[in-house]
Structure 1
């Protein structure tokens, strides 16, 4: 019995950040992400995601004062269409739209994006939130392949028993910068893929270490600024 206990203890201690995230992705859907079609709405805009192995296509559709707009982001870049006709846009606007489209799809399909080659993961500690134990994993991004916001820093709290991301925080630098802390809610699985909504909090003290945000949340010292609700309309796994 002592040998078995010691073996289990060593296995827990030896879990790396990569191994923890791998288990989290597997728990959330694993291989099913790789060939999935997802349709959802977010803030009155329609989105679709198609993956086929290493190929992907993300779309965003909405109406403005001039009619129907559709942004299409794939492995080759972003194109914008208006009323079905391609619109020529500058490289700077294409980058801006691409980042916006990618960001929405990234958050909706977390934790899947954490497997990307540019993601740098570090297990920085363990903590408890509402009496449950969590791994604290810091995520940064390599400049190459890390996108326009590669300097942003994230912290993920992974439930040690369920291997789910129940909380995460990030520090961003665009538009004078800021810190956000998100609390996952409404977990559900559709076609074997896990989706959640979030309550979104902030602190105006930009010197706050991300790893302290869970304590501030429990102490009621963060300000709730929004709810992030995605209506999942359709999921197909090919």
Structure 2
């Protein structure tokens, strides 16, 4: 009888472990865990500098206020773009220039896009972000949470209609892959990105990306992970951040 009780007790412990392992996480919980693993609150109070292609970028985030900067040479002119919580300004050779609203929106989106991708998954808990758990998917023998992200018109930026899919590692919650659709002149374009060259600087995670496209016009955004697994995507470019520097504020 004593052995029967021991067996039953063992089965109860096993069942408890199984139930614990099957606890389901929401999309919000998955993203929050990923942000925490990638640096979390450190991003909220920091200055980040890096080069991307032929331009220099600076992001200052301090207690909810941000300044996103892009600097580059255009022929013999020095261009300085500044995007803040409230406005976008362009300076050429240190003189502020007046630009049309349509171009202001275009430049703002361009500056924001580079800074947005540079610190992912930070930013995915913003108020304008909507997250939906699509389930699980296996890529390169790893299990991932698959999360869809859309944006509200208010606060979602110029490209708020773009749709994103993110793949988070089920073990360490690292963001290893992402895909997105965007509007272009002849319809909708799609991209798939594979993270590599992970760096940890001052407790913050930075990665580069292999940037893929599909030539299959019948393929859906949500199928890009499977298409990548089947080697059906074509490498288009590499997204590489150079000379990353981080300065923590309010330390």
What's the TM-score once normalised by structure 1's chain length? 0.96
Secondary structure class of the residue paired with 2:224: helix
Equivalent of residue 98 in structure 1, options 103, 108, 116: 108
What corresponds to 1:5 in structure 2?
Answer: 17
Cα distance in structure 1, aligned partners of 2:117 and 2:157: 15
Decide whether aligned partners of structure 1 residues 23 and 113 sit closer, same or farther in structure 2, where only a CA change above 3 A counts: same
Highest CA radius of gyration, 1 or 2?
Answer: 2
What's the TM-score once normalised by structure 2's chain length? 0.91
Alignment of 1:187-198 (within 5 A): 187-198=198-209
Answering whether residue 67 of structure 2 is matched by residue 67 of structure 1, we say no
Alignment of 1:157-168 (within 5 A): 157-168=167-178
Cα distance in structure 1, aligned partners of 2:157 and 2:244: 28
Alignment of 1:135-174 (within 5 A): 135-174=145-184
Alignment of 1:1-238 (within 5 A): 1-11=13-23, 13=24, 15-176=25-186, 177-238=188-249
Q: Is the Cα contact below 8 Å between 1:179 and 1:204 reproduced in 2?
A: no
Cα distance in structure 2, aligned partners of 1:131 and 1:189: 24
Secondary structure class of the residue paired with 1:76: coil
1:47-70, Cα deviation, whole Å (9 max, x unpaired):
000000110000000011241000
**Which structure 2 segments of 5+ residues have no match?**
1-12
How far 1:131 sits from its partner (Å)? Answer: 0.7
Q: Which moved more, 1:68-77 or 1:142-151?
A: 142-151
How far 1:130 sits from its partner (Å)? Answer: 0.9
**Which structure 1 segments of 5+ residues have no match?**
none
